[in-house]
Structure 1
Amino acid sequence: MWQLIGLSIIQSIMLSFGQLTLKLALEKMPTFSWTTNFWGDLLTNWWFMLCGILFGGASILWMYILKHFPLNMAYPMASMSYVFALLFAIIFLHETVAWNRWLGVAFIMIGCVFVAK
């Protein structure tokens, strides 16, 4: 059980950092267009490359989790990425979070505790 929790935390952090780096990549991009300049800028954007690495690593870890743990326990644990994404938005993007979102995060964590038991 503790192994599932630990792996789920790592996988959730990777997913959340992937979302953060995707946001940072898109902020540096011009308006979307089907031009070679746009796609060249996207494919040479370091934040976008890092995003792909993080999403890829999280996907490989998720495959390991699914192979070794019951889906009914593993899938709810993936919701921890919501918690980490919220924290990363505050820490790295200096976003403010309303109280009702904190309440939602608390419910998510309570749900993870019930699933883990």
Structure 2
Amino acid sequence: MMWKILPLAILQSALLAGGQVMMKIAMMRLHAFSWSWRFIRSVLVDWQLAVGGLLFLLASLLWMYMLKVFPLSIAYPLVSLSYVFGMVAAVVVFHENVTPTRWAGVGLIMAGCCLIVK
């Protein structure tokens, strides 16, 4: 039964990380933060922020389903899979340099998730 949650957790984490990636892309393009109408209007019409918000919404709806169906002690630690997706996105999308120590941390997170669903 617990292996049924893993695909859901992977999808939920991918949606969550995707929302963060879209937000980062949008923030890199927007002007410096200010409380001006110009800045607020640019935020409201930015399509990357809208896509990021949609991904967050989908991740939240899936999260609500997971909370309803699975024990919190299983579901909540699996949210850490979003760190794995975030690290991969940092390399693939933003071309960041990730140290071997950080990759080891990602490996430990993945190992921990496997232990949780076992």
* Cα distance in 1 between the residues matched to 2:90 and 2:26: 14
Q: How does 1:88-103 map to 2 (within 5 A)?
A: 88-103=89-104
State the Cα distance separating 1:5 from its structure 2 match: 0.3
State the Cα distance separating 1:29 from its structure 2 match: 0.7
- 1:95-115 CA-to-partner distances (Å, cap 9, x unmatched) read 110111001111101110110
Alignment pair present for 1:110 and 2:97: no
Q: Secondary structure at the match of 1:114?
A: helix
Runs of 4+ in structure 1 displaced over 3 angstroms?
A: none
What is the TM-score when the length of structure 2 is the normalising length?
0.97
Q: Which residue of 1 aligns with 2:69?
A: 68
The residue type paired with residue 4 of structure 2 is Q
State the Cα distance separating 1:3 from its structure 2 match: 2.0
* Cα distance in 2 between the residues matched to 1:45 and 1:6: 31
State the Cα distance separating 1:51 from its structure 2 match: 0.6
Q: Which runs of 5+ in 2 are unaligned?
A: none
- 1:2-41 CA-to-partner distances (Å, cap 9, x unmatched) read 3200100000000011110000010111111111100000
State the Cα distance separating 1:88 from its structure 2 match: 1.1
- 1:35-93 CA-to-partner distances (Å, cap 9, x unmatched) read 11000000111110001000011001000000000000001111000001110111111
Q: Which residue of 1 aligns with 2:29?
A: 28
Alignment pair present for 1:84 and 2:88: no
The residue type paired with residue 33 of structure 1 is S
State the Cα distance separating 1:116 from its structure 2 match: 0.6
